[in-house]
Amino acid sequence: MPEYRIIDADCHVVEPPHIWERWLPKQYLDRAPKLIKDEAGGDAWSFGPDVPIMKIGLVATPGMRFEDMKWAGYTYDTVRKGCWDGAARLEDMDFDGVDAEFIYPSQRTMMHFMREEKDRDFHRAGIRAYNDFMAQEFCAANPQRLFFLAQMPNLGTDECITELRRCREMGARGCIITSWPAGNDDLGPEDEPFFAAAQELGMPVSIHINIQRKRSQRGVLEGPAAIGSMALSGMLAFPPIMCELIMTGLFDRLPELKIIGVETEVGWIPEALEQVDNFYWRNRTHTGVEIKHLPSHYFHQNFLCTFITDRTGVKNRYEIGVENMAWSSDYPHHGCDWPYSRKVINDMMDGVAADERHAILAGNMIRLYGLDGSYVG
């Protein structure tokens, strides 16, 4: 059997046109996202009045020239079927030289359901529909190569634990949280039972760039500001979340819990750890922060961060921790280099020792998620 050599630590799906009709209970279809046309005749998802539509252009770009990337005008008939179909995704992976993928949902779509606070049944049904689609349709094409990360609802800690256990039984290897499990703006003791359950089940908890907080919701940036926002979002948004998790002492109580910072890049990590250690020593007494080790200890023990293109990070891999980083493609979003992932990897990892290269490209994910070293093709 073939061995895992390249594992994509972060990629996505575009919702297929049939997802809600097939997986969402019939009583909720009138409130499900609707497929409509954008201003250029492309396909887009509508979430109801007064909510910006979700065009599929920049989230379905494999094989496109940079000059052709745009939000509007693309349809399900003009983009690659691998964006939403598991069997077609496997073909695209073979062409790109990728052995396995860990797959995340569209947060724009998930927020359509998670923003619904009054109708908990609708909220729950939408999250379950996505997770069922991934487990029973998309990843069923080859569960040893396609791994879905279960989306957690925003209905409180108990609901998160229930969905976590349900998805584990369906084959989920880990999960993604969009908000803190209890639904509060700040991490607190009420969140801990969820993280304890994740540790018990051996399911790493992913945070895709950011945590949604009611006090800081804002619209999507457009124009020149959008480039800076997209380029720097991970390294700006994730470090405070990392520190919040560390400074609460969560890892002193749950030392085996693993957190994945997704699409954060990694080049910023050595400087961040140096500064956080420094300011911890200076401020631990008056802030009342009591943890057993330096903050950097917990990063190396409990965190892994993913990167797409990060030459700085690869050069500084010893300060980051070779075991604390993993390559990803972001397929099918516009950050991906399909079908040239192998070329990008080789250029970025020129001079990296073979064992370190294997760890970053596959070994760390094998260890983190408890995979066998080989798979059925």
36: in domain? no
The one-letter amino acid code at 184 reads N
- 107: containing domain: 7-16+81-369
Give the total number of structural domains in the chain.
Answer: 1
Domain of 129, CATH number, reads 3.20.20.140
294: in domain? yes
Strands 303-307 and 7-12: unpaired
Distance CA 81, CA 186 (A): 40
28: in domain? no
Q: Which residues of the chain have pLDDT under 50?
A: none
Would you call 304 helix, strand, or coil by DSSP? strand
**Model confidence pLDDT, tens digit, residues 182-202:** 999 999 999 999 999 999 999
**Model confidence pLDDT, tens digit, residues 315-357:** 999 999 999 999 999 999 999 999 999 999 999 999 999 999 9
Angle of the 295-302 helix axis to the 269-287 helix axis, nearest 10: 130
**Model confidence pLDDT, tens digit, residues 126-160:** 999 999 999 999 999 999 999 999 999 999 999 99
123: in domain? yes
On the 0-12 / 13-18 / 19+ scale of CB atoms within 10 A, 318 is exposed
225: in domain? yes
92: in domain? yes
The answer to whether residues 124 and 155 touch, using CB atoms and an 8 Å cutoff, is: yes
Q: For the whole model, what pTM was predicted?
A: 0.95
259: in domain? yes
230: in domain? yes
The one-letter amino acid code at 76 reads Y
